[in-house]
Amino acid sequence: MEINILQAILIGIFAYLGSLSVPWVVGLTGGWYTLTRPIVSGFIIGLILGDMQTGIIVGVAVQVVFIALVTPGGQMPQDLNAAAFIGVTLGVLAVNGGATIESAVAIATAVGAVGTIFHNFMMLSNSFWNHRAIAAVNRLDYKGLNLNHFVWPQITQFGYRFIPTALIVYFGASLATNIIEYFPVDSFVMRTLTALGGMLPAVGVAILLRQVTKRDIELIYFLVGFTFIAVLGVNMIALAIIGGFFAYFYFKFSETKTVVATAEPLSDVEEEL
């Protein structure tokens, strides 16, 4: 599969729209928290490249790795934007060239780690514009405030996201397409990538479980779901319905228990009456 310049430009534009601090798609809600989710970017990339099925499959696999990614205070251990657009694109191209989904996941994860360079430089540049915006406020220069708060930071962010993404997916397409020729499926490199790519989703799920469970015994809920799928062959939609059923009754039970616990005890006179 080859990528033409128009496809590379479109992927680069979506990478910019999905980056942090971009206000054009309902702020963080439509951009960072929607477009930059690999499951969504995989759909978009698949639509642009004309292979939606592979795009969604790779996007879902990469999404599991980053399912528990948090960015406290702007600290980003992995650049999800780079993984979602550059990594998923290269992963789709690699799969079309004969590579495995697991190796595509490993490629996207590696791109996400390298992509933190883009993020850090972008944050450094934003601090520069922020300093200029404060100086404009002190001078009562409202035009300078608008330029340094809205215009120049967005142009800078566009450069940091659009240019690397478009160039890498365009010029790196041949490398990703021919990766299976350089490293056959039975080679050490591909077997290593496959093994690492198979473990990474488990790491992402494990991190998520540690975040949403208060006690280790609560892991039994997830083990029950795993048993339904692995042993009974229940599909994900049916399992979601079953999980919603039990979650509703658990919520009602907890609500009733809280009301009873917070009820004021009766006085001696009231008890006698």
70 and 141 inside one domain:
yes
173 and 123 inside one domain:
yes
Half-sphere exposure of 149 (CA within 13 A, CB side): 11
239 and 170 inside one domain:
no
Reference 41, options 74, 82, 93; nearest CA is: 82
180 and 46 inside one domain:
yes
CB 193 within 8 Å of CB 185: no
Is 46 contained in some domain? Answer: yes
65 and 186 inside one domain:
yes
**Residue after which a domain boundary falls, among 212, 230, 253:** 212
pLDDT digits (tens, 9 = 90+) for 3-57: 899 999 999 999 999 988 888 888 888 988 899 999 999 999 999 999 999 999 9
Is 113 contained in some domain? Answer: yes
227 and 122 inside one domain:
no
172 and 239 inside one domain:
no
190 and 140 inside one domain:
yes
Is 268 contained in some domain? Answer: no
With 70 as the cut, is the pLDDT of residue 245 above it? yes
Rounded CA-CA distance 103/21 in Å is: 31
Alpha helices in 97-235 (DSSP H): 101-114, 116-138, 142-146, 152-171, 173-177, 179-182, 188-212, 219-230
The proportion of the chain whose per-residue pLDDT surpasses 70, expressed as a percent, equals: 81
52 and 88 inside one domain:
yes
Q: Which is it for the CA torsion 238, 62, 82, 67, positive or negative?
A: positive
Domain count, the chain: 2
The kind and range of the H/E element at 98 are none
Q: How many other C-beta atoms are found inside a 10 Å radius of the C-beta of residue 148?
A: 21
Provide the residue range defining the domain that includes 247: 215-263
Is 270 contained in some domain? Answer: no
Is 272 contained in some domain? Answer: no
pLDDT digits (tens, 9 = 90+) for 167-223: 989 988 776 556 556 666 566 766 776 676 667 667 767 777 777 777 877 778 888
161 and 237 inside one domain:
no
Is 273 contained in some domain? Answer: no
Is 105 contained in some domain? Answer: yes
pTM above 0.85, yes or no: no
